[in-house]
Amino acid sequence: MTEIPEHLLNRSKARRAAASGESTGDASPAVAASATPAAAAPAKKNVAPAPKAAVPDPVYVAAAKNRRKIPFWAMSALALLPIWALIYFVAVVPEEKVVEGPTAIGTAVYSSCAGCHGANGAGGAGQVLYEGNAIKTFPHIEDMLNFVYAGSQKYVAAGLATYGDPNREGGAHKPLGYNGNPMPQQGEKAGGGLNEAQILAVVCHIRYDLAGADPKSEEWAAEYEAWCSPDSEIYKALESGSTSFDTIDKDFSMLDPKPIAVGTEPRLGTSRK
């Protein structure tokens, strides 16, 4: 049988003694020295620091913490409120229709006439147009178109003593009878700067916006529909060049009443009846 070395036996005894808290004289000094500190070392205790006293929140902080919060989904809904308001406004407010046609164009053209006739047709260097004066002088739109196109000096040169309705209430107008100031020719062929569509447009503006002709009345409805409405075929034809003042009476003979020949040369006017 093999014998166990003595130093191993001593080491085993020393370990058992250390585990049971006893010492043995047989243990070697090295083993005892190594065992003694482990046995003699005091156990360390984890001592927790004393808790600090809680400081109460200020009143306004406590109120903020206790206040009911807005849900996150509501925040997104609130952010979209301006967009919803705009959509609602666009949906409920009726769209304003822009009326195009002769009278709309004539309003812009008339700005060059306002210096003589006044912004509202009240007159000045030129004749009074508002409060029914223009339609009293020209009960037929064709006569007014002819006079505006040719101008008063052309009438004088042609030997015509009056223009418009020869039986006008209060007397017929004379070409140079208003302060001696001539009405400048406006038509291109007469030396003016307006084409025939523009002349019709400005005459429509004068008759229906300034002079006060009622487009819905029995007296003026047919004229307005044929010459000055947004759907006027005569205006469209003049604008496109498919008719002219010299051919309107032939090109639109189907209208009731049939148009009077406008012409571009000065001519006598026509009475109301």
Task: Please give the pLDDT value at position 272.
Answer: 87
Each domain of the chain, given as residue ranges in start order, spans 102-251
Task: Please give the pLDDT value at position 269.
Answer: 95
Residue carrying structure tokens 């967009």: 83
pLDDT at residue 164 greater than cutoff 90: yes
Q: Which backbone phi and psi does 219 adopt, to 5 degrees?
A: -70, -35
Interior angle at CA 235, CA 138 and CA 128, nearest 5: 30
Residues 61-110 have pLDDT tens digits of: 777 677 766 666 666 666 777 886 778 776 776 655 555 789 999 999 99
Residues 182-195 have pLDDT tens digits of: 999 999 888 899 99
pLDDT at residue 163 greater than cutoff 90: yes
The amino acid sitting at 19 is A
Q: What is the DSSP string of the chain?
A: -PPPPHHHHHHHHHHHHHHHT---TTS-HHHHHHHHHHHHSPPP---PPPPPPPPPPPHHHHHHHHSPPPPHHHHHHHHTHHHHHHHHHHHHSPPPPP--SHHHHHHHHGGGTHHHH-TTS--SSS---TTTHHHHH-SSHHHHHHHHHH-HHHHHHTT---BS-TT-TT-PBPTT-STT------BTTTT-SB-HHHHHHHHHHIIIIIS---TTSTTTHHHIIIIISTT-HHHHHHHHTS--TTTHHHHTTTSSSPPPP--SS--------
pLDDT at residue 38 greater than cutoff 50: no
Mean pLDDT over residues 162-172, rounded? 94
Task: Please give the pLDDT value at position 24.
Answer: 46
d(CA 161, CA 148): 16
pLDDT at residue 152 greater than cutoff 90: yes
Q: Residue 175 class from Cβ within 10 Å (0-12 exposed, 13-18 middle, 19+ buried)?
A: buried
Written as six digits, the tokens of 221 are 């409805």
Q: To the nearest whole number, what is the mean pLDDT of the chain? A: 83
pLDDT bin (cut points 50, 70, 90) of residue 29 is very low
Identify the CATH number of the domain defined by range 102-251.
Answer: 1.10.760
pLDDT bin (cut points 50, 70, 90) of residue 55 is confident
Residue carrying structure tokens 């006893």: 22
Q: Higher confidence at residue 46 or residue 256? A: 256
In this prediction, what percent of the chain has a pLDDT beyond 90?
58
Residues 209-262 have pLDDT tens digits of: 999 999 999 999 999 999 999 999 999 999 999 999 999 999 999 999 999 999
Task: Please give the pLDDT value at position 88.
Answer: 73
Q: Higher confidence at residue 166 or residue 88? A: 166
